Structure 1
Amino acid sequence: MTILNADALAYDDGDIDTNRSQNQHLSDLIAVRYSRRQTLMGGLRAAGAAAFGGMLLAACGEDGDGDGEAAIVNAGQNITTSGGKTVQLAGSVTSGTAASVQWEQVSGTPVNLTDATTNTATFSAPAVTAQTPLVFRFTATSPDGVRSLSETTVTLMPTMLGFTAVPKSLADVVAVPAGYSVSVLYRLGDPISGSVPAYANNGTDTNFAQRAGDHHDGMSYFGLSASGTAPDPTSSLRGLLAMNHENITESYLHPNGVTAGAVRLASEAIKEIEAHGVSVIEVARASATGAWSYTQGSTLNRRVTPNTPMTFSGPVRGNAMLRTRQSPDGTAGRGTINNCANGTMPWHTYLTCEENWAGYFRRDTGDVAARTAAGRAKENVSLARYGIGQGRAGNYAWSTAVPTDATSTVFARWNATIVPGMPNDGTGDFSHEPFTFGWVVEIDPFDPAAAPRKRTALGRMNHEGCEVGRTIAGVKPAFYMGDDAQNEYIYKFVSATPWSAADATATNRLAIGDKYLDAGTLYVAKFNADGSGQWLPLVFGQGPLTSANATYPFADQADVLVNARLAADALGATPMDRPEWTAVNPATGEMYCTLTNNASRSAGRVDAANPRAYTDPKTDGRAASTGNVNGHVIRLRETADTSEATTFAWDIYAFGAGSDLDPNNINLSQLDATNDFSSPDGMWFGLPSNVTGQATPLLWLQTDDGSYTDVTNCMMLAAIPGTVGDGGTRTVVNSLGGASSSAVTRIGKTPGTTLRRFLVGPKQCEITGIHSTPDGKSLFVNIQHPGEGGGAGNNTSSWPYTQTGAATGSARPRSATIVITKDDGGVVGI
């Protein structure tokens, strides 16, 4: 989500309640046996060391408790460490001569030993779910073939957070724990072509179709092969970053802010349009411990903007509702906008999701009557449900700009008003243009020539993201989505096609997308008070989804998908507190969803899944906030752990709150100064290619907050969460606006030290977008709209310039991608 500059042109980010439905809210140590000869050698070590050359020196080792150092254990000595740590096995011959030495694993979870035929071998401790011993043997063999040996036990504990919590901050820098470093990789305006000049950052820059866009958001890293043409899911030194540019801080894009007037300057409007969309850039690391940079002249670099040609696929392709002046047959689209969260497909494509697209459209007064007179009254119901009422100019008023080419419709397309005298089917104007947005869009980052595809089977809404669940051969995969607006819903799409592992390496990646994303069943979630839930199918002809529906008569399945919100209303789905990012635990398959906040949540309209409505006071003179001010994170586990399930169990993982708020009814998760947060937004689990995505995976949680910013800038936390049902029930008493109520909710185990603040961002930013290299040693994070409260001549931040010590001043702030690495070269976060 983006909070826009207050002195910019009027902007509607879609964070409004258009839901008028009345739906209810809601391992034993292992005995090692020796041969008789080995036992004899072991018993004679002290006395016969010179003769046999086999005496081993034992010394104390490190405990590997999270201090960032490698755990070192000498032969004969035992230690305890945790998953992800580098363990060094040290053996030495104190007298005599050894012709050869050898480290070997005797028992336990297999590991890969490096330098096993030297005195010092190393391995990376694997992730485990419980205490697990690994036994290793060091053998020294004398020139005459006599062996002497010793054994060492390394006891593994589950992966732990390995850093000290970062304190809250209002400074204009990105703060990370001691032992970590931050570098800035890709900033607003950075050129992605060798022919484009460096960014001046004074408002004079043009050609954003070949520059980094603004408001960096959801992001995925794709490993790139040595040839530089194909995916390599193991590559951690070279890859592609695909990222969203959700929005703009327009006052910083122009020399003196926005030029006043009833008609927008075309030069300003086109710059603003092109600064939206998606970037795909090639990135590389100089060495395993070197610096990251992006390759400005890479042939794979690409900008996808609101003007990029696209195609529709799935059930709505060619439908009458998609017919416009630009695409009379309803098969083609133009561009994507307000792209917030994302999805990374196992076949190496990128999903970008259109969130607050509705606010960009102009709709003149009188359009309701015009549609009614034209026999298109249903469209009024649909447009209203998605927040496109009449009498609105549209964000940034782009439709008022006059193009230099009289035949161009790049500005006119943002006016959804019916044009008198045009064909009534929408082919002569852009009255159907709003129906071409609100979709999940698939991009092949490895093929800049491939047109992105809008996947209509996944429904139309304020898509925050689209996260694929675990892929299991022979099982239909599920894709989880949130609709980010007040009192909207959580959805999942289950493909009609069972997963085949061979598809992960297919070369026609968009064709694989066709296979899994163009046919299936879209469901919406209903959360019950007893901790159970149902997935309700959005299928035409079932239940109320028919032409007889009084509120909105559905014509067919395409109509259901275009109007997913109205279909979900009719089914009785549970209205939620702004469902944002979804994330799936790669070890358990549990799905987490951030519920950022809800200003319209009242004491009289709480339920088990959304149980809080309260007043949150401010320390900076601002008026107190009300509703579910600080948000929470809900999670669910599918019945029988299958993505095809139509029922689930749920609880609330954590409630956002300041640590000083009421512990009985607000700070229900007992957060303290090391982990209190507000307005959870971005969320992501570590990759299963490294320990942060194995056994007990690491969860990253990012905030987009305007409520706790009197105390701290937005932040990112790391967590090792438990599982659904690991806590209990809790009664929450609400008192707000003279009304009171109570709700019994399901709450997970108190996070405690398993949730910790890892990063605090610069002034007035949002922390959003996260991914890592396959080895987990480089973490990419986006810093969105620093200094968004200011403007040209009134900078309220100068980040990223301040990251290297510069003071906040004349330099305009820029959204940017940063890279976080561990100074010792280890896996980030543990």
Structure 2
Amino acid sequence: MNDLTPNAFGYTDGDIDTNHSDNLTLNELAARRLSRRQTLRGGSAIVAATLGSSVLAACDSATAENDPAPTVSAGAAATTTAGRLVTLTGTAGDGAAVSWTQTGGPAVTLNGATGSTVTFLAPSVANATVLTFQFAAANGSAAATATTTVTVNPAQLGFTAVAKNKLDVVSVPTGYKVQVINRTGDPIAAGVPAYKNDGTDANFAQRIGDHGDALYWYGLAAAGTARDDNSSTRGLIVQNHENITQQYLHPAGATSVGGVRPEAEALKEMECHGVSVTEVTEGANRAWTVVQNSSLNRRITPATPMRFNGPARGSDLLKTPFSTAGTDGRGTINNCANGTTPWATNLTCEENWAGYFRRSGDNALRAAKEVTALSRYGVTSSSGSYGWSTVVPADGTNTLFRRWDARATAGGSATTDYRNEPNQFGWVVETDPYSPTSTPRKRTALGRLGHEGAWPGLFVAGRKPAWYMGDDSRREYLYKFVSATNWVAADATAADRLAIGDKYLDTGTLHVARFNADGTGIWVPLVFGQNGITAAAAAYPFADQADVLVNARLAADVVGATPMDRPEWTAVNPANGHVYLTLTNNNAAGRPLNGTDAANPRHYNDPFGPTNSAQFGNPNGHIIRLREIDDSTEATSFTWDIYLFGAGADLDAANVNVSGLTADQDFSSPDGLWFSRPTNASGLVKPLLWIQTDDGAYTDVTNCMMLAAMPGTVGDGGARTITNTGTGGATATQATRVGAAPTAATLKRFLVGPLDCEITGVDSTPDGRTLFVGIQHPGDGGTFAAPSGHWPDSQATGTAGASVRPRSAVAVITKDDGGVVAL
């Protein structure tokens, strides 16, 4: 931003201040009179520019001498912090024309500048910064001005922490409001009837899906469907739909006859998965609504045509009866976390897709390496989630259901049965939200995993960009994809967005992280022919680079990547590029007492519930962070520490509650993670980090939650040795690296969700004044006849009818005074 100075304003009335006559002008006469009256003045040019020259030009010398100047005040000097709403109120005599202008400091937008009262959002600053403002008034024959100052200090968390609770509402701090949009089943196409929520509704291809997860805002111009990255009142919300709460989708729960699922039920369940694109707008009184008939609304489901791109396109491993060339596929499923690109496309990530397939008993019909790969990815179910493969379609030819049966058949092949269908899932999928008829791309260069997300590092012109990805299972890994193409800033505004994706996402190198005990780490490339990834690899002989990418987990095993405690969401600090990763939890089997390491250091017991059931392992999880060497996305090494350890405030501070969390800060099982946008004060200088939980270990105390944090930097803590405990009183020590302990000023709980929910998915409008938060599977512990929760119907009063079925939805959170959320 540019500083404004009093003489920076241009003049529009040239004859007033450039007249070379020796005669006194009316403005000079007025100025002399104002000087005699000892009023504050800013000079005739400023008054003219502020109030308009006509106010002064109408008077003559006699009038100027006889009419008194208005008495004005700009109010007392004030102090605030970045992101807060500031109100300036001036006073002047009756009938005076008044106006405000800014005369110094970082430029702000004054709302209502032609009246006595104006407001503005305090800008982001790194240090205390003074803004000056002038209030001017004129009564038709005389004018006066007054000045005031506002000192803006750096941003800080500006809310009172929300207490842990077990209520059936979204609880937010005092001074905030919750609205609800995008509920499961809400119609997003013209003519689709309102959702009855009794299990009889159909056509989820034109309704919001279930289990809303990661979401992202893409701005729209005020008129039309064009992209506008700065729009905060009209935009598209792109949201993942990870799974379903099956019992609430049908009148009396799911049914089957002789082990065969009804086609209509299975189709509804399938269409509830995938992605939704919905246009939303802010109306009067900051009310948010979905534009049901928007031409940009779209559902992407497991039936939507897809295109494979990158090194695995055309591989034998991707060939199916649907695409015998291995180039195309159908749909996306179990979409969890997300990513984005500077060219305004969305990345949706396929996570726990393996369980949807029926696949067991066919080992004898497969090659040994096929069995190894299927087992490594967990494609071992004897039925498949929800039994979709059992459907007998009415037309006898619909293979949307048959494809979930991935068993190899005697005498069959990849192009006659669906043995390879599992290989079509587990990818990062790029979509263009502004083009509802475009075909999404599955980007195979980023590898096939249980993809939790794909968040980009900072984009620097001339440097290769990177995306960071967790693989959400216990003892899985952290990955980084580095593009082969240097970033060109002009590509951010290219018209063919998916073509730009081809440029940056189809060629590059996939890496996996290895964490060292001394707080350093390396990125190991997963490239055929390197680091033991060869045809001679003992556990799994790789055929080529396509094989490496389809079976990236096996390649990561070969190079000795560090197994992590369920690596989930990644987030990148927009101020410094530091990478954060949630490690949700691990159990005693996944992280035994003698199985800890510096990056996954804890093994302890957190007793659960009234019977104090044992929970050994790392049930509360932690958040690790890393800094690339030279702060470069191209780096092959990094340093790391553990930013926060999840724990109850009452647990052992020396060895469990290592971060020293208080009752206003304690949490368990971190999952969602997101830094505020750098387009407003919450994402600048010291950006806010939002932490969401998906918890089963602490739900005897509180529902899942979201916290706001202002983290420091990697290395701001130091070395620490903790003592772990196992069953029978066994102990072991573990050295690790910890971040600086949070304070009340740098971490506090902002939100607690309703009963049984997971908090997942968060983004804001570019101005930071509206926050969108995903509330997933509330009340999912009940039955169709007796739901265990009733949100969002319960939001208004805290209660709802006993038979009202709960629904996933997006909570829209705004600050009552219109300021930036959380500041």
Fold in common (TM above 0.5): yes
Distance 1:451 1:142 in 2: 61
Q: Does 1:777 align with 2:769?
A: yes
- Note the 1:264-283 alignment, pairs <5 A: 264-283=261-280
Which secondary structure does the structure 1 equivalent of 2:80 belong to? strand
What corresponds to 2:39 in structure 1?
54
What corresponds to 2:560 in structure 1?
572
Distance 1:102 1:341 in 2: 46
The alpha-carbon distance between structure 1 residues 744 and 781, as it changes in their structure 2 partners (threshold 3 A), is same
Question: What is the CA deviation profile of residues 416-436 of structure 1, one whole-angstrom value per residue up to 9, with x for unaligned ones?
Answer: 11011223xx11110011111
Distance 1:139 1:545 in 2: 71
Which secondary structure does the structure 2 equivalent of 1:759 belong to? strand
Conserved? CA contact 1:53–1:142, under 8 Å: no
What corresponds to 2:364 in structure 1?
369
**Which of 309, 312, 319 is matched with 1:313 structurally?**
309
Instruction: Say which is worse superposed, 250-259 or 708-717, in terms of deviation.
Output: 250-259
Q: Does 1:703 align with 2:693?
A: yes
What corresponds to 1:429 in structure 2?
417
Cα RMSD for the two superposed structures: 2.6
Question: What is the CA deviation profile of residues 334-388 of structure 1, one whole-angstrom value per residue up to 9, with x for unaligned ones?
Answer: 11110001112211111110000001111131x11211xxxx2211111111112
Which secondary structure does the structure 2 equivalent of 1:803 belong to? coil
Q: State the AA in 1 paired with 2:748.
A: R
- Note the 1:287-436 alignment, pairs <5 A: 287=284, 289-365=285-361, 367-371=362-366, 376-389=367-380, 392-423=382-413, 426-436=414-424
Per the TM alignment, residue 807 of structure 1 is displaced from its structure 2 partner at its CA by 2.9
What corresponds to 1:105 in structure 2?
103
Per the TM alignment, residue 295 of structure 1 is displaced from its structure 2 partner at its CA by 1.4
Question: What is the CA deviation profile of residues 554-598 of structure 1, one whole-angstrom value per residue up to 9, with x for unaligned ones?
Answer: 111111111111111111111111011111111111111111001
What corresponds to 2:45 in structure 1?
none
- Note the 1:186-197 alignment, pairs <5 A: 186-197=182-193
The alpha-carbon distance between structure 1 residues 74 and 622, as it changes in their structure 2 partners (threshold 3 A), is farther
Per the TM alignment, residue 506 of structure 1 is displaced from its structure 2 partner at its CA by 1.3
Distance 1:828 1:714 in 2: 20
**Which of 225, 228, 238 is matched with 2:221 structurally?**
225
**Which of 564, 578, 583 is matched with 1:590 structurally?**
578
Which secondary structure does the structure 1 equivalent of 2:656 belong to? coil
**Which of 461, 481, 489 is matched with 2:469 structurally?**
481
Per the TM alignment, residue 80 of structure 1 is displaced from its structure 2 partner at its CA by 3.0
Distance 1:98 1:582 in 2: 56
What corresponds to 1:3 in structure 2?
none
What corresponds to 1:15 in structure 2?
none
Question: What is the CA deviation profile of residues 184-222 of structure 1, one whole-angstrom value per residue up to 9, with x for unaligned ones?
Answer: 111111112222222121111112111111101011111
Q: Unaligned regions of 5+ residues in structure 2, if any?
A: 8-31, 42-71
- Note the 1:573-722 alignment, pairs <5 A: 573-599=561-587, 600-621=590-611, 623-722=613-712
Q: State the AA in 2 paired with 1:221.
A: W
Distance 2:810 2:512 in 1: 33
Conserved? CA contact 1:102–1:118, under 8 Å: yes
Q: State the AA in 2 paired with 1:249.
A: T
Per the TM alignment, residue 622 of structure 1 is displaced from its structure 2 partner at its CA by 6.0
| Residues matched between the structures, number | 761
Per the TM alignment, residue 410 of structure 1 is displaced from its structure 2 partner at its CA by 1.2
What corresponds to 2:244 in structure 1?
248
Question: What is the CA deviation profile of residues 30-86 of structure 1, one whole-angstrom value per residue up to 9, with x for unaligned ones?
Answer: 9999xxxxxxxxxxxxx9978235159xxxxxxxxxxxxxxxx97585443211123
Distance 1:786 1:454 in 2: 31
Q: State the AA in 2 paired with 1:418.
A: A
The alpha-carbon distance between structure 1 residues 662 and 455, as it changes in their structure 2 partners (threshold 3 A), is same
The alpha-carbon distance between structure 1 residues 76 and 398, as it changes in their structure 2 partners (threshold 3 A), is closer
Identity within the alignment, % = 59
Structure with higher Rg: it is 2
**Which of 788, 793, 806 is matched with 1:796 structurally?**
788
Distance 2:279 2:536 in 1: 52
Distance 1:143 1:415 in 2: 83
Q: State the AA in 2 paired with 1:269.
A: A
Larger RCO (CA within 8 A; separation ≥ 6): 1
Per the TM alignment, residue 659 of structure 1 is displaced from its structure 2 partner at its CA by 0.6
What corresponds to 2:542 in structure 1?
554
Conserved? CA contact 1:128–1:696, under 8 Å: no
What corresponds to 2:808 in structure 1?
815
Distance 2:161 2:740 in 1: 20
Per the TM alignment, residue 752 of structure 1 is displaced from its structure 2 partner at its CA by 1.8
The alpha-carbon distance between structure 1 residues 142 and 406, as it changes in their structure 2 partners (threshold 3 A), is closer
Question: What is the CA deviation profile of residues 609-665 of structure 1, one whole-angstrom value per residue up to 9, with x for unaligned ones?
Answer: 111111111233362212110001111111111111111111111111111111111
Which secondary structure does the structure 1 equivalent of 2:286 belong to? coil
The alpha-carbon distance between structure 1 residues 266 and 81, as it changes in their structure 2 partners (threshold 3 A), is same
What corresponds to 1:531 in structure 2?
519
Distance 1:501 1:74 in 2: 48
Conserved? CA contact 2:604–2:617, under 8 Å: yes
The alpha-carbon distance between structure 1 residues 294 and 138, as it changes in their structure 2 partners (threshold 3 A), is closer
What corresponds to 2:725 in structure 1?
735
Q: Does 1:748 align with 2:736?
A: no
Per the TM alignment, residue 668 of structure 1 is displaced from its structure 2 partner at its CA by 0.8
Q: State the AA in 2 paired with 1:220.
A: Y
**Which of 165, 174, 195 is matched with 2:161 structurally?**
165
Distance 1:139 1:250 in 2: 62
What corresponds to 1:764 in structure 2?
756
The alpha-carbon distance between structure 1 residues 183 and 101, as it changes in their structure 2 partners (threshold 3 A), is closer
Conserved? CA contact 2:40–2:146, under 8 Å: no
Conserved? CA contact 1:780–1:820, under 8 Å: yes
Conserved? CA contact 1:54–1:147, under 8 Å: no
The TM-score, its normalising length taken from structure 1, stands at 0.87
Conserved? CA contact 1:52–1:146, under 8 Å: no
Q: State the AA in 2 paired with 1:782.
A: G
Per the TM alignment, residue 245 of structure 1 is displaced from its structure 2 partner at its CA by 0.7
Question: What is the CA deviation profile of residues 688-730 of structure 1, one whole-angstrom value per residue up to 9, with x for unaligned ones?
Answer: 1111111111111111001100001111111111111111222
Q: State the AA in 1 paired with 2:206.
A: Q
- Note the 1:502-513 alignment, pairs <5 A: 502-513=490-501
Which secondary structure does the structure 2 equivalent of 1:826 belong to? coil
**Which of 811, 814, 818 is matched with 1:825 structurally?**
818
Distance 1:579 1:382 in 2: 20
Conserved? CA contact 2:354–2:379, under 8 Å: yes
Which secondary structure does the structure 2 equivalent of 1:540 belong to? coil
The alpha-carbon distance between structure 1 residues 98 and 788, as it changes in their structure 2 partners (threshold 3 A), is closer
Q: Does 1:545 align with 2:555?
A: no
Distance 1:300 1:114 in 2: 31
Distance 2:201 2:147 in 1: 66
